[in-house]
Amino acid sequence: MPKTHVVVCAGESSGDNLAAGMVRSLGARRPDLRFTGMGGERMRAAGAETLIDVSEVAVMGLWDVITQYNRLRGFLRRMQRHLEETRPDLLVLVDYVEFNLRLGAHARQLGIPVLFYVSPQIWAWRQKRIHRIRRSVDAMAVLFPFETRIYQEHGIPVRYVGNPLVDQIDVPIKDLRQELDVPHGTCLLGLLPGSRRGEIRRHWPVMVATARCLQRRHGDLQFVVPLASGIHRDDLEVLAPSDGLPVTLLTGPDRAREVMAASDLLLISSGTATLEAALLQTPMIVIYRMAPLSYALFSRLVRVPHIALANIVGGARLVPERLQRSANPAALCDEALGLLEDPARLAAMRDALGQVRERLGPGGADERAADAALELLETGRLGNGPA
Protein backbone atom coordinates (compact mmCIF):
# COMPACT_ATOMS: atom_id res chain seq x y z
CA MET A 1 0.00 0.00 0.00
CA PRO A 2 1.46 3.42 -0.95
CA LYS A 3 2.24 5.79 1.89
CA THR A 4 0.10 8.83 2.58
CA HIS A 5 1.95 11.67 0.89
CA VAL A 6 2.45 15.16 2.32
CA VAL A 7 4.24 17.87 0.34
CA VAL A 8 5.87 20.58 2.45
CA CYS A 9 7.16 23.81 0.89
CA ALA A 10 9.51 26.16 2.78
CA GLY A 11 11.56 28.82 1.02
CA GLU A 12 13.83 30.28 3.70
CA SER A 13 16.02 29.14 6.58
CA SER A 14 13.45 30.08 9.24
CA GLY A 15 10.72 28.25 7.33
CA ASP A 16 12.95 25.20 7.00
CA ASN A 17 13.30 25.18 10.78
CA LEU A 18 9.54 25.48 11.36
CA ALA A 19 8.74 22.82 8.77
CA ALA A 20 11.28 20.39 10.22
CA GLY A 21 9.68 20.50 13.67
CA MET A 22 6.23 19.81 12.25
CA VAL A 23 7.51 17.03 9.94
CA ARG A 24 9.31 15.37 12.84
CA SER A 25 6.18 15.47 15.01
CA LEU A 26 3.96 14.18 12.19
CA GLY A 27 6.37 11.36 11.37
CA ALA A 28 6.51 10.23 15.00
CA ARG A 29 2.72 9.90 15.13
CA ARG A 30 2.12 8.63 11.61
CA PRO A 31 5.03 6.48 10.38
CA ASP A 32 3.02 5.82 7.22
CA LEU A 33 3.51 9.40 6.03
CA ARG A 34 5.91 10.27 3.21
CA PHE A 35 7.24 13.83 2.98
CA THR A 36 8.59 15.57 -0.11
CA GLY A 37 8.90 19.20 -1.17
CA MET A 38 11.13 22.26 -0.94
CA GLY A 39 13.32 22.92 2.10
CA GLY A 40 16.76 22.71 3.63
CA GLU A 41 19.02 20.58 5.76
CA ARG A 42 16.70 20.62 8.78
CA MET A 43 13.76 19.29 6.76
CA ARG A 44 15.96 16.58 5.29
CA ALA A 45 17.20 15.62 8.75
CA ALA A 46 13.55 15.33 9.85
CA GLY A 47 12.88 12.83 7.06
CA ALA A 48 11.68 14.87 4.09
CA GLU A 49 12.95 14.44 0.53
CA THR A 50 13.62 17.88 -0.94
CA LEU A 51 13.46 18.61 -4.66
CA ILE A 52 14.67 22.20 -4.26
CA ASP A 53 16.94 23.59 -1.53
CA VAL A 54 16.08 26.80 0.31
CA SER A 55 19.46 28.29 -0.61
CA GLU A 56 18.36 28.31 -4.26
CA VAL A 57 15.18 30.31 -3.73
CA ALA A 58 15.85 32.76 -0.88
CA VAL A 59 15.42 36.35 -2.10
CA MET A 60 14.92 39.71 -0.40
CA GLY A 61 12.59 42.48 -1.44
CA LEU A 62 10.82 43.44 -4.64
CA TRP A 63 13.98 44.22 -6.59
CA ASP A 64 15.45 40.75 -5.99
CA VAL A 65 12.15 39.18 -7.05
CA ILE A 66 12.13 41.24 -10.26
CA THR A 67 15.74 40.43 -11.18
CA GLN A 68 15.34 36.72 -10.41
CA TYR A 69 11.77 36.36 -11.63
CA ASN A 70 12.42 33.82 -14.38
CA ARG A 71 14.49 31.60 -12.11
CA LEU A 72 11.87 31.68 -9.34
CA ARG A 73 9.11 31.04 -11.84
CA GLY A 74 11.02 27.92 -12.94
CA PHE A 75 11.15 26.66 -9.35
CA LEU A 76 7.43 27.34 -8.93
CA ARG A 77 6.63 25.44 -12.09
CA ARG A 78 8.75 22.54 -10.87
CA MET A 79 6.77 22.37 -7.63
CA GLN A 80 3.49 22.66 -9.54
CA ARG A 81 4.49 19.71 -11.74
CA HIS A 82 5.39 17.75 -8.61
CA LEU A 83 1.86 18.28 -7.32
CA GLU A 84 0.35 17.31 -10.66
CA GLU A 85 2.42 14.14 -10.94
CA THR A 86 2.17 12.90 -7.35
CA ARG A 87 -1.25 14.23 -6.26
CA PRO A 88 -0.34 14.35 -2.54
CA ASP A 89 -2.91 14.00 0.22
CA LEU A 90 -1.94 17.35 1.76
CA LEU A 91 0.16 20.41 0.93
CA VAL A 92 1.70 22.36 3.82
CA LEU A 93 3.03 25.80 2.88
CA VAL A 94 5.49 27.38 5.32
CA ASP A 95 5.86 31.16 5.06
CA TYR A 96 7.54 32.34 1.76
CA VAL A 97 4.27 34.05 0.99
CA GLU A 98 4.15 35.09 -2.67
CA PHE A 99 5.62 31.84 -3.99
CA ASN A 100 3.54 29.68 -1.67
CA LEU A 101 0.21 31.40 -2.31
CA ARG A 102 0.66 30.73 -6.01
CA LEU A 103 1.46 27.12 -5.26
CA GLY A 104 -1.50 26.88 -2.91
CA ALA A 105 -3.91 28.21 -5.53
CA HIS A 106 -2.62 25.60 -7.99
CA ALA A 107 -3.02 22.84 -5.41
CA ARG A 108 -6.63 23.78 -4.71
CA GLN A 109 -7.39 23.62 -8.43
CA LEU A 110 -6.10 20.05 -8.29
CA GLY A 111 -8.29 19.25 -5.28
CA ILE A 112 -5.36 19.00 -2.83
CA PRO A 113 -6.05 20.33 0.72
CA VAL A 114 -3.75 23.23 1.68
CA LEU A 115 -2.56 24.27 5.13
CA PHE A 116 -0.60 27.53 5.36
CA TYR A 117 1.74 27.52 8.37
CA VAL A 118 2.85 31.00 9.55
CA SER A 119 0.65 33.95 8.76
CA PRO A 120 1.87 36.67 6.41
CA GLN A 121 2.15 39.92 8.34
CA ILE A 122 -1.17 41.22 7.03
CA TRP A 123 -1.66 42.93 10.40
CA ALA A 124 1.35 45.08 9.48
CA TRP A 125 0.94 45.74 5.78
CA ARG A 126 -1.02 44.81 2.63
CA GLN A 127 -4.12 43.77 4.54
CA LYS A 128 -6.09 43.17 1.36
CA ARG A 129 -4.02 40.02 0.80
CA ILE A 130 -6.55 38.28 3.04
CA HIS A 131 -8.83 37.82 0.01
CA ARG A 132 -6.08 36.13 -1.96
CA ILE A 133 -5.23 33.94 1.02
CA ARG A 134 -8.85 32.82 1.26
CA ARG A 135 -8.74 31.69 -2.38
CA SER A 136 -5.40 29.89 -1.98
CA VAL A 137 -5.64 27.89 1.25
CA ASP A 138 -8.05 25.68 3.17
CA ALA A 139 -6.77 26.59 6.63
CA MET A 140 -4.17 28.65 8.52
CA ALA A 141 -1.85 27.70 11.40
CA VAL A 142 -0.57 30.88 13.06
CA LEU A 143 2.22 31.68 15.52
CA PHE A 144 0.72 34.62 17.43
CA PRO A 145 -2.66 34.67 19.22
CA PHE A 146 -3.68 38.09 17.88
CA GLU A 147 -3.56 36.72 14.31
CA THR A 148 -6.55 34.39 14.74
CA ARG A 149 -9.12 37.21 14.82
CA ILE A 150 -8.14 38.43 11.36
CA TYR A 151 -8.84 35.06 9.76
CA GLN A 152 -11.98 34.34 11.76
CA GLU A 153 -13.45 37.66 10.61
CA HIS A 154 -12.94 36.57 6.99
CA GLY A 155 -14.25 33.03 7.40
CA ILE A 156 -10.89 31.29 7.05
CA PRO A 157 -10.40 28.27 9.34
CA VAL A 158 -7.48 29.06 11.65
CA ARG A 159 -5.59 27.43 14.51
CA TYR A 160 -3.25 29.23 16.90
CA VAL A 161 -0.37 26.79 17.42
CA GLY A 162 2.16 29.03 19.19
CA ASN A 163 5.80 29.58 18.30
CA PRO A 164 8.21 26.61 18.15
CA LEU A 165 11.09 28.86 19.17
CA VAL A 166 9.77 28.77 22.75
CA ASP A 167 10.74 25.08 22.90
CA GLN A 168 13.85 25.35 20.77
CA ILE A 169 15.62 28.31 22.32
CA ASP A 170 17.59 27.74 25.47
CA VAL A 171 21.07 28.70 26.56
CA PRO A 172 23.46 26.23 24.87
CA ILE A 173 25.49 24.00 27.15
CA LYS A 174 28.54 24.56 24.97
CA ASP A 175 30.69 27.51 26.04
CA LEU A 176 31.49 29.35 22.82
CA ARG A 177 33.59 31.98 24.56
CA GLN A 178 35.88 29.23 25.84
CA GLU A 179 36.03 27.62 22.40
CA LEU A 180 37.03 30.96 20.84
CA ASP A 181 39.46 31.67 23.68
CA VAL A 182 37.88 35.04 24.44
CA PRO A 183 39.83 36.60 27.35
CA HIS A 184 37.93 37.58 30.45
CA GLY A 185 36.80 41.20 30.12
CA THR A 186 36.90 41.19 26.30
CA CYS A 187 33.57 42.01 24.64
CA LEU A 188 32.26 39.53 22.10
CA LEU A 189 30.17 41.08 19.33
CA GLY A 190 28.05 38.80 17.14
CA LEU A 191 27.52 39.84 13.51
CA LEU A 192 24.44 38.27 11.87
CA PRO A 193 23.94 39.79 8.40
CA GLY A 194 21.01 37.52 7.47
CA SER A 195 20.36 34.21 5.75
CA ARG A 196 19.43 35.43 2.26
CA ARG A 197 22.05 36.49 -0.25
CA GLY A 198 20.38 39.85 -0.83
CA GLU A 199 20.46 40.58 2.90
CA ILE A 200 24.09 39.57 3.16
CA ARG A 201 25.02 41.66 0.12
CA ARG A 202 23.53 44.77 1.73
CA HIS A 203 24.42 44.15 5.37
CA TRP A 204 27.87 42.54 5.43
CA PRO A 205 29.86 45.56 4.12
CA VAL A 206 28.09 47.79 6.67
CA MET A 207 28.89 45.36 9.48
CA VAL A 208 32.55 45.10 8.49
CA ALA A 209 32.89 48.89 8.38
CA THR A 210 31.16 49.14 11.75
CA ALA A 211 33.51 46.51 13.20
CA ARG A 212 36.55 48.48 11.98
CA CYS A 213 35.17 51.63 13.61
CA LEU A 214 34.59 49.77 16.87
CA GLN A 215 38.06 48.28 16.78
CA ARG A 216 39.57 51.76 16.45
CA ARG A 217 37.47 53.31 19.19
CA HIS A 218 37.07 50.45 21.66
CA GLY A 219 39.91 48.06 20.93
CA ASP A 220 39.12 45.22 23.35
CA LEU A 221 36.66 43.42 21.09
CA GLN A 222 36.30 40.14 19.25
CA PHE A 223 33.77 39.47 16.50
CA VAL A 224 32.06 36.22 15.56
CA VAL A 225 29.90 35.44 12.53
CA PRO A 226 27.67 32.34 12.16
CA LEU A 227 27.45 31.58 8.44
CA ALA A 228 23.96 30.82 7.13
CA SER A 229 23.40 27.60 5.20
CA GLY A 230 24.79 27.87 1.67
CA ILE A 231 26.96 30.91 2.50
CA HIS A 232 30.75 30.52 2.52
CA ARG A 233 33.68 32.57 3.75
CA ASP A 234 34.61 33.52 0.18
CA ASP A 235 31.13 34.95 -0.37
CA LEU A 236 31.69 37.42 2.46
CA GLU A 237 35.28 38.25 1.55
CA VAL A 238 34.24 39.21 -1.99
CA LEU A 239 31.67 41.65 -0.55
CA ALA A 240 33.94 43.15 2.13
CA PRO A 241 37.28 41.70 3.29
CA SER A 242 37.59 41.32 7.05
CA ASP A 243 41.39 41.14 7.08
CA GLY A 244 42.94 42.75 10.12
CA LEU A 245 39.81 42.27 12.22
CA PRO A 246 39.65 39.77 15.11
CA VAL A 247 36.72 37.95 13.51
CA THR A 248 35.86 34.24 13.57
CA LEU A 249 33.48 32.67 11.04
CA LEU A 250 31.52 29.59 12.16
CA THR A 251 29.55 27.03 10.15
CA GLY A 252 26.80 24.67 11.25
CA PRO A 253 23.02 24.76 11.84
CA ASP A 254 23.18 25.60 15.57
CA ARG A 255 26.08 28.01 15.56
CA ALA A 256 23.89 31.11 15.26
CA ARG A 257 22.22 30.37 18.57
CA GLU A 258 25.57 29.68 20.20
CA VAL A 259 26.74 33.08 18.97
CA MET A 260 23.58 34.76 20.25
CA ALA A 261 23.94 33.20 23.69
CA ALA A 262 27.66 33.98 24.05
CA SER A 263 27.74 37.54 22.71
CA ASP A 264 27.63 40.70 24.76
CA LEU A 265 25.90 42.47 21.87
CA LEU A 266 24.59 41.58 18.41
CA LEU A 267 24.43 43.50 15.16
CA ILE A 268 21.63 41.54 13.58
CA SER A 269 19.49 41.61 10.46
CA SER A 270 15.76 42.00 11.10
CA GLY A 271 13.93 38.69 10.88
CA THR A 272 13.17 35.59 12.92
CA ALA A 273 16.71 35.71 14.32
CA THR A 274 15.78 38.78 16.40
CA LEU A 275 13.10 36.69 18.12
CA GLU A 276 15.62 33.94 18.81
CA ALA A 277 18.04 36.46 20.29
CA ALA A 278 15.25 37.98 22.38
CA LEU A 279 14.40 34.56 23.85
CA LEU A 280 18.05 34.28 24.86
CA GLN A 281 17.82 37.83 26.28
CA THR A 282 20.86 38.98 24.30
CA PRO A 283 21.14 42.75 23.70
CA MET A 284 21.05 43.66 20.03
CA ILE A 285 20.94 46.42 17.45
CA VAL A 286 18.64 45.47 14.59
CA ILE A 287 19.46 46.66 11.08
CA TYR A 288 17.78 46.31 7.73
CA ARG A 289 18.60 47.66 4.30
CA MET A 290 16.73 46.89 1.10
CA ALA A 291 16.75 48.05 -2.49
CA PRO A 292 15.43 51.64 -2.82
CA LEU A 293 12.39 50.53 -4.84
CA SER A 294 11.48 47.87 -2.28
CA TYR A 295 11.86 50.33 0.58
CA ALA A 296 9.80 53.01 -1.17
CA LEU A 297 6.89 50.57 -1.43
CA PHE A 298 7.45 49.10 2.03
CA SER A 299 7.51 52.48 3.79
CA ARG A 300 4.19 53.47 2.21
CA LEU A 301 2.41 50.23 3.08
CA VAL A 302 3.69 49.27 6.53
CA ARG A 303 1.29 49.94 9.41
CA VAL A 304 3.30 49.01 12.51
CA PRO A 305 5.70 51.16 14.56
CA HIS A 306 8.44 48.47 14.70
CA ILE A 307 10.07 46.11 12.20
CA ALA A 308 11.97 43.79 14.56
CA LEU A 309 9.93 40.81 15.76
CA ALA A 310 11.52 41.25 19.19
CA ASN A 311 9.90 44.69 19.40
CA ILE A 312 6.63 43.67 17.72
CA VAL A 313 6.07 40.79 20.15
CA GLY A 314 7.34 42.84 23.09
CA GLY A 315 4.94 45.64 22.21
CA ALA A 316 7.60 48.33 22.67
CA ARG A 317 10.99 49.49 21.36
CA LEU A 318 12.98 47.02 23.47
CA VAL A 319 15.99 47.14 21.13
CA PRO A 320 17.26 49.79 18.68
CA GLU A 321 16.25 49.55 15.02
CA ARG A 322 18.14 51.16 12.16
CA LEU A 323 16.81 51.10 8.60
CA GLN A 324 18.25 52.13 5.26
CA ARG A 325 20.50 55.21 5.57
CA SER A 326 20.36 55.20 9.37
CA ALA A 327 21.97 51.75 9.24
CA ASN A 328 25.36 53.26 8.43
CA PRO A 329 28.71 52.40 10.04
CA ALA A 330 29.15 55.69 11.92
CA ALA A 331 25.69 55.56 13.50
CA LEU A 332 25.93 51.86 14.31
CA CYS A 333 29.39 52.33 15.82
CA ASP A 334 28.10 55.12 18.09
CA GLU A 335 25.05 53.05 19.09
CA ALA A 336 27.13 49.97 19.86
CA LEU A 337 29.70 51.92 21.88
CA GLY A 338 26.93 53.56 23.88
CA LEU A 339 25.74 50.11 24.93
CA LEU A 340 29.10 48.39 25.39
CA GLU A 341 30.36 51.20 27.60
CA ASP A 342 27.23 51.27 29.75
CA PRO A 343 26.72 47.89 31.49
CA ALA A 344 23.56 49.18 33.17
CA ARG A 345 21.92 49.79 29.75
CA LEU A 346 22.90 46.32 28.58
CA ALA A 347 21.46 44.77 31.76
CA ALA A 348 18.24 46.76 31.38
CA MET A 349 17.86 45.57 27.80
CA ARG A 350 18.34 41.94 28.88
CA ASP A 351 15.66 42.34 31.54
CA ALA A 352 13.23 43.96 29.09
CA LEU A 353 13.69 41.14 26.59
CA GLY A 354 12.50 38.68 29.22
CA GLN A 355 8.89 39.68 28.51
CA VAL A 356 9.13 38.34 24.94
CA ARG A 357 9.07 34.70 26.13
CA GLU A 358 6.10 35.47 28.37
CA ARG A 359 4.14 36.94 25.46
CA LEU A 360 4.81 33.96 23.18
CA GLY A 361 2.97 31.62 25.52
CA PRO A 362 3.55 27.93 26.28
CA GLY A 363 5.64 25.47 24.28
CA GLY A 364 4.42 22.54 22.20
CA ALA A 365 3.97 24.40 18.90
CA ASP A 366 5.44 21.61 16.73
CA GLU A 367 2.87 19.17 18.12
CA ARG A 368 -0.02 21.60 17.70
CA ALA A 369 1.01 22.35 14.11
CA ALA A 370 1.13 18.60 13.48
CA ASP A 371 -2.34 18.27 15.05
CA ALA A 372 -3.69 20.87 12.64
CA ALA A 373 -2.10 19.13 9.65
CA LEU A 374 -3.45 15.73 10.70
CA GLU A 375 -6.93 17.12 11.26
CA LEU A 376 -7.00 18.60 7.78
CA LEU A 377 -5.47 15.43 6.31
CA GLU A 378 -7.87 13.04 8.03
CA THR A 379 -11.14 15.02 8.08
CA GLY A 380 -10.72 17.53 5.25
CA ARG A 381 -11.45 20.48 7.53
CA LEU A 382 -9.99 22.41 10.45
CA GLY A 383 -11.98 23.67 13.39
CA ASN A 384 -11.16 26.97 15.06
CA GLY A 385 -10.87 25.49 18.53
CA PRO A 386 -7.56 24.62 20.23
CA ALA A 387 -5.81 21.47 19.13
- Mean pLDDT over all residues of the chain? 88
Please tell me the predicted confidence (pLDDT) of residue 291. 66
**In terms of domains, do 45 and 107 share one?**
yes
Q: How far apart are CA 348 and CA 351, in angstroms?
A: 5
User: How remote is the C-alpha of 372 from its chain's centroid?
Assistant: 21
Q: How far apart are CA 257 and CA 169, in angstroms?
A: 8
Please tell me the predicted confidence (pLDDT) of residue 3. 84
Please tell me the predicted confidence (pLDDT) of residue 191. 97
Considering only CA atoms, which of 75, 143, 146, 79 is closest in space to residue 114? 79
**In terms of domains, do 51 and 121 share one?**
yes
CATH number, domain of 41, equals 3.40.50.2000
Reported as a single tens digit per residue, the pLDDT across 37-51 is 999 999 999 999 999
Q: What is the phi-psi region of residue 111: left when phi exceeds 0, alpha when psi lies from -120 to 50, beta otherwise?
A: left
Q: How far apart are CA 69 and CA 118, in angstroms?
A: 24
Reported as a single tens digit per residue, the pLDDT across 172-218 is 767 899 999 999 889 999 999 998 888 899 999 999 999 999 999 98
247 pLDDT above the threshold of 60 = yes
**In terms of domains, do 122 and 236 share one?**
no
Q: How far apart are CA 116 and CA 141, in angstroms?
A: 6
Please tell me the predicted confidence (pLDDT) of residue 374. 96
**In terms of domains, do 81 and 183 share one?**
no
Domain assignment present for residue 169? The answer is no
235 pLDDT above the threshold of 70 = yes
Q: What are phi and psi of 247, to 5 degrees?
A: -120, 135
352 or 290: whose pLDDT is higher?
A: 352
pLDDT confidence tier of residue 387, bands split at 50, 70 and 90: very low
Can you tell me the mean pLDDT for 140-150? 88
1 or 32: whose pLDDT is higher?
A: 32
**In terms of domains, do 192 and 141 share one?**
no
Please tell me the predicted confidence (pLDDT) of residue 58. 62
| Alpha-carbon torsion, ordered 142, 145, 151, 153, to 10 deg | 170
Considering only CA atoms, which of 267, 204, 162 is closest in space to residue 60? 204
pLDDT confidence tier of residue 78, bands split at 50, 70 and 90: very high
Residues in CB range of 73: below 8 A, 6 or more apart = none
Please tell me the predicted confidence (pLDDT) of residue 123. 57
64 pLDDT above the threshold of 90 = no
Please tell me the predicted confidence (pLDDT) of residue 229. 76
Q: How many domains does the chain have?
A: 2
Please tell me the predicted confidence (pLDDT) of residue 267. 98
* b/e burial code for range 190-214 (CB count within 10 A of at least 16 → b): bbbbbbbbbbbbbbbbbbbbbbbbb
Please tell me the predicted confidence (pLDDT) of residue 1. 53
Pick from 4-8, 86-90, 163-167, 337-341: least confident: 163-167
Considering only CA atoms, which of 272, 360, 303, 300 is closest in space to residue 123? 303
Domain assignment present for residue 35? The answer is yes
**In terms of domains, do 252 and 343 share one?**
yes
**In terms of domains, do 153 and 183 share one?**
no
345 or 296: whose pLDDT is higher?
A: 345
Can you tell me the mean pLDDT for 73-102? 94
Domain assignment present for residue 349? The answer is yes
**In terms of domains, do 230 and 329 share one?**
yes
Domain assignment present for residue 79? The answer is yes
Reported as a single tens digit per residue, the pLDDT across 263-278 is 999 999 998 899 999 9
The three-state (H, E, C) secondary structure of the chain, written as one string: CCCEEEEEEECCHHHHHHHHHHHHHHHHHCCCEEEEEEECHHHHHHCCEEEEEHHHHCCCHHHHHHHCHHHHHHHHHHHHHHHHHHCCCEEEEECCHHHHHHHHHHHHHCCCCEEEECCCCCCCCCCCHHHHHHHHCCEEEECCCCHHHHHHHCCCCEEECCCCHHHHCCCCCCCHHHHCCCCCCCEEEEEECCCCHHHHHHHHHHHHHHHHHHHHHCCCEEEEEECCCCCCHHHHHHHCCCCCCCEEEECCCCHHHHHHHHCCEEEEECCHHHHHHHHCCCCEEEEECCCHHHHHHHHHHCCCCCCCHHHHHHCCCCCCEEEHHHCCHHHHHHHHHHHHCCHHHHHHHHHHHHHHHHHHCCCCHHHHHHHHHHHHHHHCCCCCCCC
- Burial-class residue 2 by CB neighbours within 10 Å (0-12, 13-18, 19+): exposed
253 or 64: whose pLDDT is higher?
A: 253
Reported as a single tens digit per residue, the pLDDT across 98-114 is 899 999 999 999 999 99
**In terms of domains, do 367 and 331 share one?**
no
Please tell me the predicted confidence (pLDDT) of residue 125. 53
pLDDT confidence tier of residue 353, bands split at 50, 70 and 90: very high
294 pLDDT above the threshold of 70 = no
Q: Residue 61's domain spans which residues?
A: 4-164+363-379
**In terms of domains, do 189 and 328 share one?**
yes
Can you tell me the mean pLDDT for 318-322? 95
**In terms of domains, do 78 and 210 share one?**
no
**In terms of domains, do 149 and 255 share one?**
no
Can you tell me the mean pLDDT for 333-345? 96
Domain assignment present for residue 386? The answer is no
Q: How far apart are CA 327 and CA 323, in angstroms?
A: 5
Residues forming beta bridges with residue 287, ordered by sequence position: 269, 322
Contact 116, 105 (CB under 8 A): no
pLDDT confidence tier of residue 57, bands split at 50, 70 and 90: low
Domain assignment present for residue 258? The answer is yes
Please tell me the predicted confidence (pLDDT) of residue 295. 56
16 pLDDT above the threshold of 70 = yes
pLDDT confidence tier of residue 5, bands split at 50, 70 and 90: very high
61 pLDDT above the threshold of 60 = no
Please tell me the predicted confidence (pLDDT) of residue 386. 46
223 pLDDT above the threshold of 90 = yes
